[in-house]
Amino acid sequence: MLRQLRADDERFKTVTFQSGLNLLVAETTDVSRSTDSRNGAGKSSMIELLHFLLGARADAKHLAARKELRRITFTLSLDWPKLREELNVSRSGGDVKKVTLDPGVARRPDPTALSRIAEPLTLSLPGVGEPERLPVAVAGSQTVQLTEWQALIEQNLFGLVGDHPGVSGRALLSFLIRRVGDHGFNEAVRSFARQPEGQAAPNLAYLLGLDSTLAARYQDISAKKNARDQLKKAVNDPVWGRVVGKAADLRGEIAVQSSKIEELRRQIAAFRVVPQYEVLKERADELTRRIQDLSTQDIIDRRNLDHLERSVEEAVDPEVRYLEQVYDELGVTLPQQALRRFDDVRAFHAAVVRNRRTYLKEEIAETRQRLDDRKAERAQLDDEQSGILKDLNDGGALEALTTLQKALAQEEATLGALQHRLEAAQTVEASSREIEAARLELTREVDTDLQERQEQITRATVLFNELAGRLYGSDRPAYLSVEAGRSSLKITPKISSDVSQGINKMSIFCFDLTMAVIAHREGRAPDFLVHDSHIFDGVDDRQLTRALEIAVDVTAAEDMQYIVTINEDDLAKARNLGFDPAPYLVEPLLTDAYEGGGLFGFRFEQ
């Protein structure tokens, strides 16, 4: 149970709680100004401080972190399971990540983890047959991180150990201590506005003793569906569509890319580093240039050889005998001396022709010899070049191997990107069927589980019906509807009536009290339930009175605690109908007085 809420600022009005029903009343005063209202009395602030001290995250806008309050340390005293003394929890808005516990409390060992290491530490109590596991107390106060405090709450107040997907101590507390700032009184099955059913359902299932793990699996399906919807939008977008692509196209690209990678891997596997690679490469280049030079020289010599051979054919003896015939026909007789001179000239020209033929034949022979020599040299160079090229073709330099390896890494990275895109595309194209199949399978499992847990559902339904019956009479049907919905486990409290704000609030009252009682009976929740005065907004006087009477009876029967803030005029309605609130009033009486009124004892902008 919660015992006391206090602060180290003397202006703060300490709130002391008791077992059973606790009424924290706010009233107007005779000196209240016309602009004052009980909204400044601090009823909702008390709810916020309880959450703050029970592990709620707090940013710069949180109540306790306001500049007027951040230097104040708030403390909550409460009973702690199996601890013989009260636990004092202190926290300040100046350092919201730290929580001080007095006495210090270590987390209880996880039995499933210890069973793999050693036997858990137990303590036998006198008169008790079974050994009882006690929390480990730490001498003196202890400062822990907020996350550690949240884990202690989960384990000790809600019995959450090991994996508990979809269920958290903070979410459970949000149902046991609803906040008006989160619109927690709008719907019974949501602790804050627009809370997804799939997120709320595992926590409700845990409190009611149903399979929270099955309920949490709806969130996995919902997450996959959301991812698919987002990817589908991206594919349909003209820009992002090119980033994802179609599965068929991507499979083709992956096939081509895989082929490239296999070829590179084959080349690397067969690669041989050639010693003196650069020297061999330079020699191969030199041989290539020499062979090209020889070919050029062959072209020149063959052209010259052709010219020389034609010149030999054109070199003939000069013919001068035709001059005698010409002179005879003209009637001119040449003297013997002149004829002898013609013979000399002819002999001279014949000698010249013979000498030219001899020279040309020698030139032809030398040219042919050069062609033959170059042919032989070219053959030799070709053989040498072939050997070098074979060595170079079989291997290469270390730099070439490094280049191949870099190219392989780049191509593998490209393949990886394509495969990721294919996965995304397949999610878009195929996940719809998979999601639907998973949803149908989960629905079948949940249906089966609900049938097996029908006795548990019946107990909760009967209790809810009894509470609603005391409010509205037995002739108005009231029950809990529990079924496997399409997107979540659907747990719906129903009170047959015309829709009204008051009946909705009383449905929340009955539902919360049902959950708190069922969970407390079975050790899955602490023994307190807290409501803000908004639980009575729009509620008829008779139902308000009966709700307070129900709270008295149930808390006494179940040894529990119900804390509710209430306005004085609402309490007067119940008093007029015969309800005596005196035994249940807790200090202080909150007022809306501008000076000294309210929970904090001073006013500040909120």
Q: What is the pLDDT of residues 74-112, one digit of tens each?
A: 999 999 998 889 999 999 999 999 999 999 887 766 555
pLDDT in tens, 358-409: 887 888 888 888 888 888 887 887 877 776 666 555 555 556 657 767 887 8
| Dihedral angle computed from the Cα positions of residues 515, 517, 523 and 527, in that order, rounded to the nearest 10 degrees | 110
Q: Is the Cα torsion angle 164, 170, 176, 180 positive or negative in sign? A: negative
Q: What are phi and psi of 133, to 5 degrees?
A: -85, 120
pLDDT value for 1: 94
Mean pLDDT of 221-230: 79
Report the predicted TM-score, pTM, of the whole model to 2 decimal places. Answer: 0.67
Mean pLDDT of 131-156: 78
pLDDT value for 435: 83
Q: What are phi and psi of 80, to 5 degrees?
A: -120, 130
Q: Which two tokens stand for residue 215?
A: 């309920």
Number of helices (H) and strands (E), helices first, in the chain?
Answer: 16, 14
pLDDT in tens, 296-326: 888 888 888 888 778 877 766 656 566 566 6
- Secondary structure class of 41 (helix, strand, coil): coil
d(CA 375, CA 291) in angstroms, rounded, equals 10
Residue labelled with tokens 């987002």: 230
pLDDT value for 434: 81
**CA 388 from centroid of its chain's CA atoms:** 57
d(CA 130, CA 122) in angstroms, rounded, equals 10
> Pairing relation of β-strands 98-102 and 142-145?
antiparallel
- What mean pLDDT, rounded, does the chain reach? 82
More confident residue, 539 or 386: 539
pLDDT band at 292 (very low <50, low <70, confident <90, very high): confident
DSSP codes, 369-430: HHHHHHHHHHHHHHHHHHHHHHHHHH-B-HHHHHHHHHHHHHHHHHHHHHHHHHHHHHHHHH
pLDDT band at 447 (very low <50, low <70, confident <90, very high): very high
d(CA 122, CA 131) in angstroms, rounded, equals 6
Query: Is residue 37 pLDDT above 70, yes or no?
Result: no
* 100, 113 contact by CB (below 8 A): no
SS3 readout for 308-326:
HHHHHHHCCCCCCCHHHHH
Q: Which two tokens stand for residue 119?
A: 């036997």
Among the listed ranges 137-146, 151-160, 445-454, 534-543, which one has the minimum average pLDDT value? 137-146
Nearest to 184 by CA among 176, 175, 192, 174: 192
d(CA 100, CA 105) in angstroms, rounded, equals 10
Mean pLDDT of 18-30: 86
* 510, 471 contact by CB (below 8 A): yes
> What is the percentage of the chain residues whose pLDDT exceeds 70?
77
d(CA 40, CA 329) in angstroms, rounded, equals 159
pLDDT band at 38 (very low <50, low <70, confident <90, very high): very low
The edge-to-edge listing of strands for the beta sheet with 2-7 is 15-16, 2-7, 73-78, 87-92, 98-102, 142-145
More confident residue, 23 or 63: 23
pLDDT value for 204: 96
d(CA 239, CA 235) in angstroms, rounded, equals 8
* 574, 541 contact by CB (below 8 A): yes
d(CA 172, CA 156) in angstroms, rounded, equals 13
Q: Which two tokens stand for residue 363?
A: 């030139």
Strand partners, 361: none
pLDDT value for 71: 92
Nearest to 564 by CA among 12, 3, 20, 9: 20
d(CA 215, CA 350) in angstroms, rounded, equals 125
pLDDT in tens, 107-143: 766 555 444 434 443 433 333 444 444 445 555 789 9
* 588, 15 contact by CB (below 8 A): yes
Query: Is residue 514 pLDDT above 90, yes or no?
Result: yes
Residue labelled with tokens 């409390």: 105
* 318, 349 contact by CB (below 8 A): yes
pLDDT band at 61 (very low <50, low <70, confident <90, very high): confident
Long-range contacts of 365-373 (CB under 8 A, 24+ apart): 367/301, 367/304, 367/305, 367/308, 368/305, 370/297, 370/301, 371/298, 371/301, 371/302, 371/305
Mean pLDDT of 529-549: 94
d(CA 357, CA 367) in angstroms, rounded, equals 15
pLDDT value for 68: 87
d(CA 420, CA 257) in angstroms, rounded, equals 14
* 509, 562 contact by CB (below 8 A): no
pLDDT value for 133: 45
- Give 147's contacts (C-beta < 8 A, 6+ positions apart): none
pLDDT value for 333: 64
Query: Is residue 186 pLDDT above 60, yes or no?
Result: yes
Query: Is residue 225 pLDDT above 90, yes or no?
Result: no
Mean pLDDT of 243-255: 78
pLDDT value for 168: 94
pLDDT value for 130: 42
Nearest to 154 by CA among 215, 213, 203, 88: 203
* 492, 185 contact by CB (below 8 A): no
pLDDT value for 315: 65
More confident residue, 203 or 277: 203
